[in-house]
Amino acid sequence: MNQKARRPIPRFNTPIVETHCHLDYLEQDDLASVLTAAEAAGVERIITIAVSVDNLDVVRKIAAGHTQIWCTQGIHPHEADSWDTAVAERIKEGCGDSRVVAIGEIGLDYYYQHADQRAQAEAFDAQLSLASELALPVVIHTREADDDTRAILANHSGTLRGNGVIHSFTSSIALAEYCLEEGFLLGFNGITTFRNADNVRAVVEATPVEHILLETDAPYLTPVPYRGRPNAPCYLPFIAETLAEIKTLPVEALLEQVRDNSYRLFF
């Protein structure tokens, strides 16, 4: 990687909220160094995401030990075969923790299909109902499942009092338009910087800035110019620059609105 590609991480005046990462997956760096780098990049709050029965308690423990970290509770579609009433009760109990800000990561993934589609739909639908019951926002994962995602969300139209975000949005403009009409926000990450991601940039262009969230999905999807390294919250400024360019906004103006969006949804 050349020196230009390794340019220093920019620091902006507006604090940044990392709305989606997996701090317990950052195996190559200790948490203290990750948080130090994030603070240096202007990241003020971080949401670390639950995905399985195995890390429901892990993310809560991480959040409990750090004032700048919050977390979620939920079962990822890859783990949907583990869904049952006992898991539902664990999630509900976990949501009593003051550091929990959403139900997630939930949804459908027909690309990898690590779990049966029927099991994914059942777990997704049940967790949407739980979010409605608890008046919490949802963090939704959808991949190669636009029609079923829309159908299941339609079953809960008007009942999700906390609304939510479609994270790492890579789906169609049609699904984006539906989700925006329903009041959801769309989360964008390092994919927006990838050369072959014109479809995602087109969705960013069509999305009102009032409905955009910043995320990394770390340790995955590291943005240009640091592709090839594990992702981390400190790389959010590069994503912010790309979104600002697409939206033809000064980066500080974009960051101020996106920060407001993050607080409105989660805090």
Q: pLDDT tens across 11-59, in order? A: 999 999 999 999 999 876 789 999 999 999 999 999 999 999 999 999 9
Residues 6+ positions from 264 with CB-CB distance below 8 Å: none
pLDDT of residue 28: 65
Region 90-109: mean pLDDT is 98
pLDDT of residue 96: 97
Task: Please say whether the dihedral angle defined by the alpha carbons of residues 133, 124, 170 and 102, taken in this order, is positive or negative.
Answer: positive
Task: Tell me what the pLDDT averaged over the chain comes to.
Answer: 96
> Please, how many CA atoms are within 13 Å of residue 149, restricted to the half-sphere of its CB?
26
* Domain ranges across the chain: 23-266
pLDDT of residue 208: 98
167-207 pLDDT per residue, tens:
999 999 999 999 999 999 999 999 999 999 999 999 999 99
- Helix extents (H) in the chain: 31-40, 56-64, 85-94, 117-134, 146-154, 173-181, 198-206, 236-246, 251-266
CATH-assigned architecture of domain 23-266? Alpha-Beta Barrel (3.20)
CA distance 5 to 228: 12
Region 89-110: mean pLDDT is 98
63-95 pLDDT per residue, tens:
999 999 999 999 999 999 999 999 999 999 999
**CA 38 remoteness from chain centre:** 17
pLDDT of residue 26: 87
Structure tokens at 154: 């339609």
pLDDT of residue 127: 98
207-256 pLDDT per residue, tens:
999 999 999 999 999 999 999 999 999 999 999 999 999 999 999 999 99
CA distance 70 to 61: 10
137-160 pLDDT per residue, tens:
999 999 999 999 999 999 999 999
What are the backbone angles phi and psi of residue 201, rounded to the nearest 5°? -65, -35
